[in-house]
Structure 1
Amino acid sequence: MTALNWKLVVDTRDAQTLADFWAAALEYEVEDATPLIDHLLKAGDLPEAAVAEHNGHRVFRGYAAVRHPEDPYDPFTGIGKGRRLLFQDVPEPKTVKNRLHIDIHAEPDGLETLVSRLESLGATRVNEVDKGPAGHWWVMRDPEGNEFCVA
C-alpha cells in the first residue's frame, strides 16, 4: 500500500497575503503558476478576470499555495507534489476556533526566537502553555486569526 498525497486547504480573506505569511513562517516557497496561467490565457481557457498580479507574478485570483522547498513539483504548473498548503478565498469570515491547526517546532532552546520571528511576520501571541515536563508552547494566530502552536 502506498501513502496518499494530500494538501491542507485553508479558507482565507486574502489568499496571496496569507500564503506569503505561511511561506515565510515555514520557510516554504510560494508556488509560481505564471507559466500555467500564461498558457491557459493564450489558449482562451481562462478569463483575464480570473487572474491577478502579486509580487510580480500572475496568480489565480483568490487562490495561492506554498510548498516545501525540497519536495518535487511540476515545473510547468508550479504545483507541488509533496507537502503543501493551499489558500482559497471564501466570502464568509472566520467565526470560531480552528478544529485543525499547524504545530511549528522550534530548535532546542529556540522557542522565544521563533515566536518573535513569527510576530515580526504578522502573527500574534494568544496564550502561553506550560505543562512542565510534558511541554511548553505558545498558541498564536496568523494574520487572519487562524490558531497555530509553536513548541
Structure 2
Amino acid sequence: MALNWKLVIDSTNAAALADFWAAALGYEVEDPSALIEQLLTAGHLSDEAVVEHRGRKTFRGYAAIRHPEDPFDETSGVGRGRRLLFQDVPEAKSGKNRLHLDVHSGPGDLAELVARLEDLGATRIREVDQGPAGRWWVMQDPEGNEFCAA
C-alpha cells in the first residue's frame, strides 16, 4: 500500500517561502483560517499562535502549499496529495541541501522558466551541461535552498 507524505522544508519565513514556491510551481497556498477560527473560539489555540498573512489567519511559523488538482480537507485547508510544508526553525541554513526539488520546463522553455523563477526571487548558481543528457540550472530559492530548473 502506498503511503501519504509531504515534504517539510525548514525556513526562516514560512509564509514568504510558501508564497515563492506556490508561484514557482503553480500550487495553492493552503488556507487554514476556518480551522484556526474554530480552535480560537473553542479556546484550544492562543492568539500568540496565530499571524495574519495576506488577509488570512495562519499558524505562526507554518505555511503549506498543495497541488491545485489534489483533494483537500475543506475545514482545515490541508491537502491530501502533493504538498510542501514550510516550518520556521531558529537555526540558519548551514550547508548544501541533501534533498532538493527539480522544476521542469516544457521542451525548449528553460530560459523562460529560469527568468520567471528569477522574477519571483530565485538566484542562478551555475549551469550544468550534460551534452545529450540535457542541461539545467542549479538555483536557490529566496532562503538559499538549492533546486534545479531543467
Is the TM value for this pair above 0.5? yes
CA distance in 2 between counterparts of 1:20 and 1:46 reads 24
- The aligned residue for residue 77 of structure 1 is 76
**How far apart are residue 135 of structure 1 and its match?**
1.6
Does 2:106 match 1:93? Answer: no
**Runs of 4+ with >6 A deviation:** none
Letter in 2 for 1:72: P
Q: Helix, strand or coil: the match of 1:87?
A: strand
User: Counterpart in 1 of 2:30?
Assistant: 31
Distance in 2, matches of 1:111 and 1:3, equals 33
**Residue matched to 2:63:** 64
Residue in structure 2 matched with residue 55 of structure 1 by the alignment: 54
Residue in 2 aligned with 1:124?
123
Residue 13 of structure 1 is matched in structure 2 by 12
Q: Secondary structure at the match of 2:2?
A: coil
Amino acid at match of 2:23: A
CA displacement 1:90-148 (0-9 Å, x = unmatched): 00000100000000010000000000000000000000000110120000000000000
Letter paired with 2:45: L
Cα shift readout 1:48-85 (whole Å, capped 9, x = no counterpart): 00000000000100000000000000000000000000
User: Where does the alignment leave 5 or more consecutive residues of structure 1 unmatched?
Assistant: none
Could you tell me how far apart the structure 2 residues matched to 1:133 and 1:141 are? 25
Q: CA deviation at 1:87?
A: 0.2
Q: Which amino acid aligns with 1:71?
A: D
* Residue matched to 1:40: 39
AA matched with 2:29: V
The gaps in structure 2 that reach 5 residues or longer are none
How many Å separate the matches in 2 of 1:70 and 1:133?
Answer: 34
Which one-letter code corresponds to 1:88 in the other structure? Q
> What letter corresponds to residue 120 of structure 2 in structure 1?
L
Counterpart-to-counterpart distance in 2, 1:136 and 1:64: 32
State how far apart, in whole Å, the 1-side matches of 2:73 and 2:31 are: 10
Q: Take 2:134 and 2:144, find their aligned partners in 1: how far apart are those partners?
A: 24
Cα RMSD, aligned residues only: 0.3
